[in-house]
Structure 1
Amino acid sequence: MDFPVSGRLAGIDYGTVRVGIAVTDTERIVASPLQVYRRVNSVADQRFFRALAEDEALVGWVVGLPVHTSGDESQKSREARHYGQWLAEVTELPVRFFDERYTSQGADQLLLEGALTGRRRKLKRDMVAAQIMLSAYLEFVSMGKHGEGTESWE
């Protein structure tokens, strides 16, 4: 399954408890935070992501790949890859993995500047991290890189 060059994408900031979600516009100019999904169980999670894909008219997923500053993969990287494979199977949409180094720190900085309380920052952190990662992906692709530096799961 080829990764589509047009249409809405969702960015995923994977977590074992919470999943941050951001989406692009149809022209892929801007990424916006959408929500934080609190994982429940496999059946509920499948239902949620299938509905999300349909409701948001998604054509693909960009899953953040947490790697060490050296670029080496971690246990979390392997978990994110597994989750991306699961998303592809459940929704029948292609997945691309993209480096998400420093997105959580960037989200924290943005939320601190927004003067939110600690509890409210924590609630929004994952979807803002997803937005930062998805925005970086859009910029990367707009520079003509397309698949370079990313990996697809098909």
Structure 2
Amino acid sequence: MSRIIGLDLGSKTCGVAISDRSQLIARALKTIRFESDDYDDCFDQVLALLDEQDVHEVVLGLPKHMNGDIGIRGEISVQFAEELKKEGVKAMLWDERLTTVAAEKILLEGDVSRRKRKKIIDQMAAVQILQNYLDRKRNGSLPE
């Protein structure tokens, strides 16, 4: 099996997680930084990372409002996924509601300093997105 990358796309950063080859475990990889709302730069960095890691499948967090509606941030993620698909990347959108909250809780329980949390929170959110996807995939309960 090949590895999968998970992305938590923000307005200035993109947290990146990667699976192991057996697609069982997600781990933090890096945080991509770019100028505010410069998604072209972020996209180029993601493509370079996919090439470097020899990955052809991405799970991209889809931010939704708690009522399930997709707002502006969600539309940006949808467009980002569509652009990845045009490049031949298998791109799956994944509901990311509360993943940052879960990541923050894990870091707090691990007694990680506020300064360090700020640097890695996006990566940890990407780990949550990817791990949730891997678990559902393994259990055969992915949405069609």
Partner residue of 1:72? Answer: 69
Partner residue of 2:112? Answer: 116
Partner residue of 1:84? Answer: 81
Partner residue of 1:48? Answer: 45
Normalised by the length of structure 2, the TM-score is 0.89
Question: In 2, Cα distance between the equivalents of 1:47 and 1:14?
Answer: 13
Cα drift, residue 47 of structure 1: 4.2
Partner residue of 1:152? Answer: none
Segment drifting more, 78-87 vs 106-115: 78-87
1:25 to 16, 20, 24: 20
Provide the aligned C-alpha RMSD in A. 1.8
Question: In 2, Cα distance between the equivalents of 1:131 and 1:143?
Answer: 18
Q: Secondary structure at the match of 2:59?
A: strand
CA spacing shift, 1:69–1:43, aligned 2, 3 Å = closer
Partner residue of 2:138? Answer: 142
Identity %: 27
Question: In 2, Cα distance between the equivalents of 1:59 and 1:97?
Answer: 15
Partner residue of 1:61? Answer: 58
Cα drift, residue 23 of structure 1: 0.5
**Which runs of no fewer than 5 residues in structure 2 stay unpaired?**
none
- Residue type of the partner of 1:96? M
Question: In 1, Cα distance between the equivalents of 2:42 and 2:121?
Answer: 20
Cα drift, residue 43 of structure 1: 6.3
Matched residue pairs, number?
Answer: 142
1:7 to 2, 11, 14: 2
Q: Secondary structure at the match of 1:116?
A: coil
Question: In 2, Cα distance between the equivalents of 1:70 and 1:50?
Answer: 32
**Which runs of no fewer than 5 residues in structure 1 stay unpaired?**
1-5, 150-154
Instruction: Say whether residues 1:126 and 2:122 are aligned partners.
Output: yes
